[in-house]
Amino acid sequence: MQRGFSSQLNSSSLRPGELQLSVEHLQLNFGGVTALLGVDLQIRQGEIFAIIGPNGAGKTSLLNCISGLYHPQRGRILFYHNGEHDLTHLRPHQIARLGVARTFQNIELFRHMTVLDNLLAGAHIHMKSNLLASLIYWGMAQREQIQFRRFIEDIIELLEIQAIRNKVVATLPYGLQKRVELGRALALRPAILLLDEPMAGMNTEEKEDMARFILDVNEEYGVTIVLIEHDMGVVMDISDRVAVLNFGQKIAEGTPDEVRNNPLVIEAYLGEEHAALLSRPFSKS
């Protein structure tokens, strides 16, 4: 489907299928509690990679390590984007500058800003005009703001949030806030997009919309997506590969079909009574 957007959302320098993010033997402790224990992951350019697991399995901790909010005690995280970068000891804003964007489990928008300002703040790393030029707001600084305003409009169109672009975020319903947060992450022109439970707390219709947006971003722009999600229907439907975490360890990895039929996963994660549910056929639309 060609929509004729003028902007390129994907900033990755890799070709589809090349190794983009490599997590190696990651170990993370909080005092005496082990959150992650020797986790390995290989994520390739252009795929939708889902991370699932019961509550407290370490999924969000893993994302937080990748985006630099937590620093693991052992192991390393390599990111490929115009060369190899070791993310393990970088600070969050340095990682963002490499093109790693994310959303949060509990919406972390800039609540008192409008939708437009939230999205423009997402494009922060691309804005170059210096402080003096910004204070005077003449020439280059103004042109830059207008240029990004145009770029943001493409995202607004993609996510179908035209009607709320001038609304203050705090006044919006939950489902729309989730959508704006996705938009803010897209405004960074991500090479890789980390989504922490993008569909949590949504009704079926909102979930369908969100799944469609995620697929749009992935298929049209080729943005790699790493997804944490509890809704198994969605995960099995849209992901290319799935990793399963349990108590900080990776217990399985593979295509949705492989994971679904893995006895370890069924036992350790879903419990026996849910195994019957999974034997029902799923359709990949």
Partner 1 sequence: MISGIYYTSYEQDMALRKTPAQRIRLAILILLLLSFPFFASRYYLTLANQIGIAVIGAIGLNILVGYTGQISLGQGAFMAVGAYTAGILTAHYGVPWWASIPVAALFTALVGTFFGLPSLRLKGLYLAIATLAAQVIILWIVTHWKAVTGGVEALVVPTPKLFGVKMNTDFNFYWVIWGTAVLITIMTVNLFRTHYGRAFVAIRDQDIAASVMGIDLFRYKLLAFAISSFVVGLAGALLAHYRTIVNWERFTMDVSVTYLAMIIIGGLGSVTGSYLGAAFMTLLPALITNLGRAMKASFPAIEGLIPFIQLAIFGLVIIIFLIFESEGLNKIWKDIKDYFRLWPFSY
Task: Catalog residues that contact partner 1 under the rule CB under 8 A.
Answer: 67-69, 91-93, 95-97, 101-102, 104, 108-113, 117, 120-125, 127, 129, 131, 134-137, 141-142, 145-146, 149-150, 153, 184, 188
The least distance separating partner 1 from the CB of residue 179, rounded to whole angstroms, comes to 16
> Given the complex with partner 1, which of 146 and 264 has the nearer CB atom?
146
The least distance separating partner 1 from the CB of residue 270, rounded to whole angstroms, comes to 31
> Given the complex with partner 1, which of 196 and 253 has the nearer CB atom?
196
The least distance separating partner 1 from the CB of residue 146, rounded to whole angstroms, comes to 5
The least distance separating partner 1 from the CB of residue 165, rounded to whole angstroms, comes to 10
> Given the complex with partner 1, which of 184 and 250 has the nearer CB atom?
184
> Given the complex with partner 1, which of 63 and 232 has the nearer CB atom?
63
* Residue pair 180/119 in contact by the 8 Å Cβ criterion: yes
Please give the structure tokens belonging to residue 59. 């999924």
> Given the complex with partner 1, which of 108 and 160 has the nearer CB atom?
108
The least distance separating partner 1 from the CB of residue 156, rounded to whole angstroms, comes to 12
